[in-house]
Structure 1
Amino acid sequence: MSPVPKVRLSGGLEVCRVLNGMWQVSGAHGSVDNAKAVEAMQAYVDAGLTTFDMADIYGPAEEIFGKFNMKWKSSGDDIPALQGLTKYVPSPGPMGRKVVEKALQRSLTRMQVDSLDCVQFHWWDYRDKRYLDALGHLSDLQQEGLIQELALTNFDTQRLEEITNRGIRISSNQVQYSLIDQRPAAKMEHFCLANNIKLLTYGTLAGGLLSERYLGKPEPTSRAELSTASLSKYKNMIDSWGGWSLFQDLLVALEAAARRHGCSVASVATRYVLDRPAVGGVIVGCRLGVAGAGQHISDSLRSCSPDLELSVEDLDAIQAVTRRSGDLMVLIGDCGDEYRR
């Protein structure tokens, strides 16, 4: 198996182009055994998938990373470093330096690190301009060495430009990007390419809906069928995009491409986004302590392998379907607007 490719962010941090997402331990996907989750991280790291994405609001995610990181570092000298990307997601309120520092100190303690590889800042309400205060303090703390990379989560292009114009260096913006949701291609990609900002993307597999498991299957509608936060969220996105029948057409095109390349539908869907301009990496939810993680890891490795190259035939067939979908920029707005309606 080829080494997992990496991308260098503007502050110098190298991260895997497939990142392990830890939203699944937040509680929105069922109960989590923390000890088993720590143990399960080993398989990802052994496969070369050393970059983990988490947040201060993802339940015990930072603590799970911290426990594994300490165990990993004590296992020997000749081991690759882990990269821990977290998010700072404050509630609305004053954003003085002490408030920001306290939040980062909590993440440092939980993750058991002396400095933070990357802090991805999220803000709920653009009408409250105190996000600029918070980012100013985060930028200062970056200059002081507490943070290596300062990044954003779910900011739109207008605010990304506003922040950049204030002289705040942003390494990446984490946004939803998939064959279903291609809003970043409308405006954000162009701005990011011009300003050396990488997109780190989530939702690329639509919570698992973009897989053979749903090909030719009736539309899931019940809570039992949409049993996780991811399935429910991305099924709603499919409804806005064009509905279940069109989604089935997309799965047919993806399955045909997967057969040609000897891989899974998930690998094709991930590779499509990895190949988009400005995309630095794709965040794939890691199934910590859940059965079936081995195939999940294999799909991730295949998606970033140099042996997988989507052909003109593949792309034409896929785009023949996606062109028939609704315009999510019109229906929802720019990246992240779904969180602010």
Structure 2
Amino acid sequence: MVNYRYLGNSGLKVSEITYGNWVTHGSQVDDAAAVQTVHAALDAGITTFDTADTYANQAAEVVLGRALSGQRREGLEIFTKCYFPVGAKGPNDTGLSRKHIFESINGSLKRLGTDYVDLYQAHRFDYETPLEETFQAFADIVRQGKALYIGVSEWTAEQLRAGHALAQDLGVQLISNQPQYSMLWRVIEERVVPTSEELGISQIVWSPMAQGVLTGKYLPGQPVPEGSRATDQRSGARFIQDFLRDDLLTAVQRLKPIAADAGLTMPQLAIAWVLQNPNVAAALVGASRPEQLADTVKASGVTLDADTLAAIDAALADTVNRDPEHTYTVSPKTRLS
């Protein structure tokens, strides 16, 4: 079964392996298979589910809501997000304005079939809306009981500090950030993580397997496997391209004996690695088939010893991206429409 961790400086516990449906529900996976996979996650002890209104242009929330229908709501932690264009994608169907936040949360609750979400997240930083407006709207949503806690995704250290100060002034809890993080992508370690530790903010990390590259299935000098994420534009193929360099894929192959010595599969090693960071509350995993979860959940509770961690660093060497400047490039400088 899956272990639990506290999310930020709060009393909320979440399953340290959290189910996310970014590129699966409503697009890559048919609804029946999606429901089966969610039920497999529940059977494995996962109680925390992460989605967003923008995933499959709102369809992913609908599928997740149906899949969780009939479950005891108090036994679940449901997360969603807003920022990116949704619906008709008009000028106010995006961003973190008060108008869009309220329309987004109301739509998300309806699609998810719930009265509240446990965590409501700003999917990116909005440079075009005053931060005070955004956090006043978040505070009002919390006071109305539509969300219990507030989180963000891919915010810089400075943005986290400013948002945390406003949240404190307004009497609400900003407890999480959702960045990309893996053995290969460590850009949050220098600035975001220390700031988060100071402020009582946890990381809920996405792509702990580097878009599937850390499974070892992509081989240097070989075509990408048929049916893999790299071949499917609907499943985020563009996000994997930077990881498909031969030098990087060669380095990843050197992880196979390290995983074997630790008694782990490659996916388990990747997930266990991010969970060694004490500022990480949860690793987001997706699945297109129930049996995939049976493997990944076994990473919960695994402790990697110092020799294993050192061997991983040596194997990956200079293929690892640690540049903190990348944290400043994720949020668009203007709203997308």
For the criterion TM > 0.5, the same-fold answer is yes
Q: Residues of 2 paired with 1:247 and 1:16: CA distance?
A: 30
2 CA distance for matches of 1:301 and 1:326? 25
| Aligned-pair CA distance for 1:125 | 4.5
Q: Which deviations, in whole Å up to 9, do the C-alpha atoms of 1:15-69 show, x marking residues without a partner?
A: 1101111012356x63x32233223321111111121110011122211121122
CA shift for structure 1 position 12: 3.0
- Shift in alpha-carbon separation, 1:336–1:283, aligned structure 2, 3 A: farther
SS at 2:55 equivalent: coil
TM-score, normalised to structure 2, is 0.84
**CA contact under 8 A between 1:219 and 1:244: conserved in structure 2?**
no
SS in 1 for 2:115: coil
Aligned to 1:165: 165
> Residue in 2 aligned with 1:47?
44
Count matched residues: 317
SS at match of 2:75: coil
* Counterpart residue number, 2:88: none
1:197 aligns with 2:205: no
- Once residues 302 and 123 of structure 1 are traced to their aligned partners in structure 2, the CA distance between those partners, rounded to angstroms, is 31
Among candidates 310, 314, 317, match of residue 316 of structure 1: 310
Q: Secondary structure at the match of 2:269?
A: helix
Percent of counterpart pairs with the same letter? 24
Q: Distance in 2 between matches of 1:326 and 1:315?
A: 14
1:175 paired with 2:173, answer no
Opposite residue 238 of structure 1, the aligned amino acid is F
Gaps in structure 1 of 5+ consecutive residues: 74-78
Matches within 5 A, 1:227-238: 227-229=231-233, 232-238=237-243
Q: Which amino acid aligns with 2:243?
A: I
- TM norm structure 1: 0.83
2:296 is equivalent to residue 300 of structure 1: yes
What is the distance in 1 between the residues matched to 2:222 and 2:13? 40
2-structure distance, mates of 1:194, 1:119: 22
Structure 1 residue 247 corresponds to structure 2 residue 246:
no
Per the alignment, residue 218 of structure 1 pairs with 221
Equivalent AA in structure 2 for residue 302 of structure 1: K
Residue in 1 that maps onto 2:330: 338
The residue number in structure 1 matching 2:261 is 260
Cα pair distance change 1:80/1:264, threshold 3 Å: farther
1:4 counterpart SS class: coil
Q: CA deviation at 1:124?
A: 5.6
- Code of the residue aligned with 1:232 in structure 2: it is A
Greater Cα offset, 315-324 or 47-56: 315-324
Alpha-carbon RMSD: 2.7
Structure 2 unpaired stretches of 5+ = 86-90
